[in-house]
Structure 1
Amino acid sequence: MKIENVPLLPANSLVGDYVRGRKEAMLFFPYAPFEESSYGKRLEWLYSRSYPHRDRLADGLYAYNQSIGNHPFALSQIAKLRERGLVVIAGQQAGVLTGPLYTIYKALHVILAARRLEERYKVPVVPVFWIAGEDHDLDEINHLYLPGDEGIRKIRMELPKAGKISASMLPLDQEACERLVSAFFGEVAETEHTASLRRLVREAARDARTPADWFARIMAQLFGKHGLVFVESSCPFIRELEQPVFQEIIRQNERIAAIIGEADARIRRAGYPPQLQIDPRQANLFLYVDGQRLLLEREGDRFQTKDGRFACSREELLRLLADDPRRFSANVVSRPLMQEFLFPTLAFVGGPGEIAYWAYFRELFAHFGFEMPIVLPRMSVTLVEGAIARHLEQLSLDLPTVLQRFDAWKQEWLARMDADAAAEDLLTQFSAVRQEFQSRYQPLVEQVIQFDRGLAELARKNADRLLAQVDFLQQRVERSLFERHAVTLSRIGRIETALLPGGKWQERVYTYFYFANKHGADLVDRLVELPFSADPDHKIVWL
């Protein structure tokens, strides 16, 4: 495998400006992610603070990682957190069979960044992956895609839709797991790697209790040997440690909403579109009611769910928190606060969407006495297989063109194709015939209508039919022209399916296991050892 760096910017203007270090975007972040001085400042700030819950955090992490079968090396990493250890952290939903490729790249990035920073600054740094297991939008995690001869194929796991049940609370249906695994491996070609991969996911499912647990066990098997530590958002020890932050969120709920609203106004004034949907009534936390994870809203001094099944005063909500913190859950605004409170975070690795909404949090962190960590743009990768590389070479097509302006390139190619001498002459004649027909036949139609208005509809339909026959013949000529270029069109289609499926980057669509089945069950291990640069360039990995 070899790596090529390509300078591609995110489509989101705020994130693009942040990656480039433009001052307009840097107003919303305390640290420039690619400036060395940022890390020295962040280290100084972290070591000026105390984390009295370090031992409780390490105990909980050890127990959880042991329960999911994480590797002994990952378990040994946790000990660093008892004293001066820092973390590089990222998080993601618990997608089936690890979800889209970018989940793998997040984990990879966290490991590589922790290694680099530990070596550079001679401080203990632990790579941590936060599993967002409490997500209740099961339609976002219940499927995967893989490329096929006819385009993209979707395989879905049947998960019950009984309200807003979190992936970490839903009992895992072993039969549904087996159907998904059988469907996936039935769609891909049998290789020397298939048996070991099938065994990995089946054994992980056999020992798992929930979809989030299945995800965690698979990820631990892939990344544990490289020291990646996992935490799942619904772990009881996490909720107990988070209790003081939930308490302040409830007490200062109005102020939090105001701070987020002010950040939204600043983002708009800076010329960027809003990155979050803001509602001043949002309480920015969820509550479990009858097993359902329901968003709370605030009306005056009362808190209630949208469906009205729960309502209480602020004091009653605080008492409920004291009695049972496990019923509370963070949302997109409060989760970063929890992360910063729990972990001595040197850097947070986020995708474009996450970076966009983290732009709202600088003043919110400061209000709680925190400081936003260094926000590192997540490594972005495209895997290019040998057959696709050959197609690119045959078409003299480069990856930046595919990833940034493929539609335009295809239109240019079609224009060149249409420039074939014989085809150009034919198509020009069709255009001339159509114009001549309209100029000569339309006056005749008008005379017929003047002669007998009862023939008006017939005359117009007759003209339309004649034009339709001209169009039909032109389309057949165009189809013949396309068929002459069928080989090239097939290559273009394969490139698009492999690298830009559905108009999206490959990393946002396909699953890791498709590539591991073809290129080796140790694909993650080989990716970890590649010399990825720490810059924001898009990485092309030639398999």
Structure 2
Amino acid sequence: MEIDCLPFYKTGYFSEFICDYLAEEPQVQNFYNRFPDLKNFEAQIAEKATSFPDENREILYDALQLQYKGFEVSNETQTHLKKLKEPITFTIVTGHQLNLFTGPLYFLYKIVSTINLTKELKKAYPKYNFVPVYWMATEDHDFEEINYFNFRGKKLKWNKVASGAVGHIDTKGLDEIFEAFSNQIGNSTNAIALKQLFEKSYLEHDNLADATRYLANELFGSEGLVIVDGDDKSLKSLLVPYAEKDIFDQLAYKKVSETVTKFDELEQKYNVQVNPREINYFYLKDGLRERIVGQDDTYFINDTEIHFTKEELQKELKEYPERFSPNVIARPLYQEVILPNLCYIGGGGEIAYWLELKAMFEAMQVPFPVLLLRNSALVITEKQTEKLAKMNLSVDDLFLKQSSFINKKIREISNIDVNFSAQKQVLEEQFKSMYELAEQTDASFLGAVKAQEVKQKKGLDHLEKRLLQAQKRKLKDHVLRMTEIQNQLFPNKSLQERNVNFSELYLELGENLVPMLLDTLQPLQQEFTIVKM
């Protein structure tokens, strides 16, 4: 196995905002607390230790014991659960939707990044404990985003009508997906293991939250991963004072809006990832998850007949905190309130919206966590590596847009020179003497010379493109093989990790897949990882 790395900015798949964050550019520094360097965690530990109450640890431990009831818990996870009660224990968190059968590959990369960071922190700060946490996004209600996974270029979709929080959705109908998947993967040892994993996860559990917990626990339980479901009354009781400041004082809206304005004022004009609402909570009940909208002193549940006075909503919040579901702005705060957390690990889009939230955290008097961009990787199989070698293709070239990739390689392998730079240079030398002559006459002749130069350069550009197209036709078999391997590694002209399901790699690597990723991905390296099998 060969490991290589590429700076994120060279891949062409990460925003300017994220690249500037990784480069610690001055204009971004006001939007985060501490940069993800190992040395910065000492101060983060000290800050969190003095702000996280011991009683919160007890509530968290008790809630997790109930959440894990009925599941087989590894010794490593059970140890981590117990350690959460100790004031010297801190968490590293990643979060993800309940995508069917994990969805894209980066689900695994997120959790591996989280586990590996806890190991690095333990080496650097041995007197503390560090627990990896996967936060299940059970309260999301966008079922269409999670009801499928891709396998070998085909979408296996769960056709079901569903509403409300996805964690509550029953698993009826997934037997059809299981059959379709089983028919495609064959009967190798690894295929049988995948079938059993899908069957036990989705056909032996009643709802999507339990199914996802089982699946993640099977994949990472031996590493001590702790899985948290925020859809929990006891945990949400800790959120009540912060929800009151959001709903009744609009504190989150004011502070995040101030930050969004600062984004707009920057010369780069960074794109705003999410915009705050005046109230950043949904009302969650009986298959319903709808926004809370305030008007004067009355609070309406969007698209329903339900409404409350201010006093009634305050009472509802205190008596039924489980009915209040934070949105994308409020959820990060909820996480940091109930967990002794030091760092959040997420993708580029997630880190971008977290960077909008620092002022809100300060106003709420909750420590803002370190933000770490998750590991990204391109895994190239042994057969694909052999193909690349035969065609003399570098991995760096594969990250080019396909047209640029083809043009670059055609110029390299062509038996004639398809680059007219030398001819353009000769042309410029010829026109140099023409300009000297023109300067001795009037301005109109100088303009005519310039126009003729531009015309002839355009003519050379046109001829160069014609010649390149002719060479593409002549070398069409080579072009076909090049584009085929690039399309395999970058399906839909996007990163592999955003399209391919882990099952495709599991069929080749089996139970060695997760250990390989744990050995390979280094979260604080902050570069794109390329794995050649």
What TM-score does the superposition give when structure 2 sets the normalisation length? 0.84
CA distance in 2, matches of 1:341, 1:288: 20
Q: Which amino acid aligns with 1:248?
A: K
The partner residue of 2:79 within 73, 76, 81 is 76
8 Å contact kept, 1:191–1:518: no
Distance apart, 1:55 and its partner CA: 1.1
Distance apart, 1:301 and its partner CA: 3.1
SS at match of 1:82: coil
8 Å contact kept, 2:59–2:235: no
Matched, 1:206 2:211: no
SS at match of 1:67: coil
Residues 40 and 304 of structure 1, relative CA distance in 2, 3 Å threshold: same
> 5 Å matches for 1:222-371?
222-253=219-250, 255-271=251-267, 272-278=269-275, 280=277, 282-371=278-367
1:448 is aligned to none
Identity of aligned residues (%): 23
SS at match of 2:168: coil
SS at match of 1:520: helix
2:427 is aligned to none
SS at match of 1:541: strand
2:100 is aligned to 96
The partner residue of 1:128 within 133, 158, 166 is 133
C-alpha distance after superposition, 1:173-197 (max 9, x if no partner): 1xx2222122223223442211122
C-alpha distance after superposition, 1:439-478 (max 9, x if no partner): xxxxxxxxxxxxxxxxxxxxxxxxxxxxxxxxxxxx9xx8
CA distance in 1, matches of 2:475, 2:264: 52
SS at match of 2:164: coil
8 Å contact kept, 1:3–1:532: no
SS at match of 1:382: strand
Distance apart, 1:48 and its partner CA: 2.0
Distance apart, 1:288 and its partner CA: 1.9
8 Å contact kept, 1:65–1:75: no
Distance apart, 1:211 and its partner CA: 1.8
Q: Which amino acid aligns with 1:154?
A: K
Distance apart, 1:296 and its partner CA: 1.8
1:401 is aligned to 397
Matched, 1:526 2:522: no
2:388 is aligned to 392
Distance apart, 1:531 and its partner CA: 6.4
> 5 Å matches for 1:506-517?
506-517=496-507
Residues 528 and 277 of structure 1, relative CA distance in 2, 3 Å threshold: closer
CA distance in 2, matches of 1:285, 1:419: 64
C-alpha distance after superposition, 1:48-83 (max 9, x if no partner): 224221112012113323434332311211111111
Residues 113 and 415 of structure 1, relative CA distance in 2, 3 Å threshold: same
Residues 243 and 72 of structure 1, relative CA distance in 2, 3 Å threshold: farther
The partner residue of 1:64 within 67, 76, 84 is 67
> 5 Å matches for 1:40-189?
40-51=42-53, 52-84=55-87, 85-122=89-126, 123-147=128-152, 152-161=153-162, 164-173=163-172, 176-189=173-186
Matched, 1:11 2:14: yes
Residues 199 and 407 of structure 1, relative CA distance in 2, 3 Å threshold: same
Residues 408 and 480 of structure 1, relative CA distance in 2, 3 Å threshold: closer
Q: Which amino acid aligns with 2:83?
A: K
Residues 107 and 351 of structure 1, relative CA distance in 2, 3 Å threshold: same
CA distance in 2, matches of 1:405, 1:274: 22
C-alpha distance after superposition, 1:243-301 (max 9, x if no partner): 33323322322x32111111100111123333234365x31001025421112222233
Distance apart, 1:334 and its partner CA: 0.4
Q: Which amino acid aligns with 1:165?
A: G
Residues 72 and 96 of structure 1, relative CA distance in 2, 3 Å threshold: same
What TM-score does the superposition give when structure 1 sets the normalisation length? 0.82
2:446 is aligned to none
C-alpha distance after superposition, 1:345-389 (max 9, x if no partner): 111101100111111111100011112111011111111111211
Residues 56 and 412 of structure 1, relative CA distance in 2, 3 Å threshold: same
- Stretches of structure 2 lacking an aligned partner (at least 5 in a row): 420-465
Report how many residues are paired.
478
Matched, 1:20 2:19: no
Q: Which amino acid aligns with 1:98?
A: T
Matched, 1:485 2:490: no
Residues 189 and 496 of structure 1, relative CA distance in 2, 3 Å threshold: farther
